[in-house]
Amino acid sequence: AFADVAHESLPAAGRQDIRTHLDGNDASILSPQRPLRYFDSSRLEKTCPERSKPGRILDGNDTMIEMLGFADRASLLATDAGSLYVKPEDRARLKEWLSRMEVVRAYEVELRRADGRRIWVEMNLRVLRDMEQLVWEGALNDITERRLAEDALWDSERRLRLMVEQMPAVLWSVDHSLRFTLSLGAGLAALDLHPNQVVGITLQEFLRTHDPDVPMLVAHRRALAGESVSLRTEWAGRWY
C-alpha cells in the first residue's frame, strides 16, 4: 500500500504529536512514547507519508516493490502515488471517501505497475493526523487473479445469456421453494411472456394449482434433490 498527504490543515486542538522520521532511505512515523506499528504480513504492504509532498510513497516492503514491478526500493519511493492509478477518478473518489469516513476497507482499484502492466488491488486505508496535515496509511493486496476469474465468468454468462435469448427455447431456474429466479429465451414470446417476467412467483402460482403431485412440480422437486429429470409438457398449444 502507500500513503498520501491530503491538502488540508488541522486546527491546533485536533493535532496529535506524531512526527515523521527520515533516515536515509528509511522512514517511519514515531510518537514520543513508542513507534507506530504498521499492519504487515507477507501479502500486505506498509508505507508512511512524507509531510511536505502530497502523494509521495515513503516506505514499502519487498512484497510491495515486487507487486508494483519496481527494480528497487529507491525507485518505488521516487514515484508519485497518483501516477499508479489507471483511472485518476479512482484516486479522487478514494480521497473524497477518506475525507468523510477516515477509514476505507476493501477498496478495489486498478493500478499500473512500473513495467506498464495493469493489476487489481484491494486497499485498506485510514487517515492519520500528522501535525498540520492529513495523511493516509494502509495496506494493499493483489487480487488480479480473482478479478480476472470474475471477469471471465461474467463474460461467459453474458455469452450464454445472449445465446439463450436468441434460441427458440425457454431457460428457467427455481429455488428450493420452487420460486422462479430466472426465465430467459426467445421461446417466451410464444407464451406471451417477457424475460424474467415470472421471477419472484412460485411454480405453483404460475401453474395455478394447489396439487403437489402435478408432474411439473414433482419433476422440479426431483431435480432439486439431485436427480436428472426429463419431462414432456404442453403449454399454450406447444409441447416442451
Q: Tens of pLDDT along 164-202?
A: 677 778 889 999 999 999 888 888 888 889 989 999 999
> What's the rounded mean pLDDT across residues 26-47?
32
Question: Any idea which of 17-26, 62-71, 209-218 has the lowest mean pLDDT?
Answer: 17-26
Q: Dig out the grid coordinates for 21 from the structure.
A: 522520521
Mean pLDDT across the chain = 76
**Distance from C-alpha of 140 to C-alpha of 172, rounded to nearest angstrom:** 40
Residues 6+ apart with CB under 8 A from 46: 1, 38, 39, 40, 59, 60, 61, 64, 139
**Distance from C-alpha of 39 to C-alpha of 37, rounded to nearest angstrom:** 7
Question: Is pLDDT above 60 for 4?
Answer: no
Can you say whether the dihedral through the CA atoms of 143, 148, 151, 157 is positive or negative?
negative
- Report the amino acid identity of residue 55: G
Provide the whole-model pTM: 0.52
- Pick 64 or 202 by higher pLDDT: 202
Output the pLDDT for position 12.
35
Percent of the chain whose pLDDT exceeds 70 = 74
Output the pLDDT for position 53.
62
Q: Is 23 exposed, middle or buried (0-12, 13-18, 19+ CB in 10 A)?
A: exposed
**Distance from C-alpha of 172 to C-alpha of 184, rounded to nearest angstrom:** 6
CA 140, distance to chain mean position in Å, is 13
Output the pLDDT for position 28.
33
Computed on alpha carbons and rounded to an integer, the radius of gyration of the chain in Å comes to 28
Q: Phi and psi for 60 in degrees, rounded to 5?
A: -170, 145
**Distance from C-alpha of 58 to C-alpha of 26, rounded to nearest angstrom:** 8
Residues 6+ apart with CB under 8 A from 214: 207
Question: Any idea which of 3-12, 161-170, 210-219 has the lowest mean pLDDT?
Answer: 3-12
- In this prediction, residue 132 has a pLDDT band, given cuts at 50, 70 and 90, of low
Question: Any idea which of 103-112, 129-138, 148-157 has the lowest mean pLDDT?
Answer: 129-138
Closest CA relative to residue 170, chosen from 197, 150, 145: 197
Name the β-bridge partners of 21: 28
**Distance from C-alpha of 138 to C-alpha of 3, rounded to nearest angstrom:** 7
- Report the amino acid identity of residue 72: D
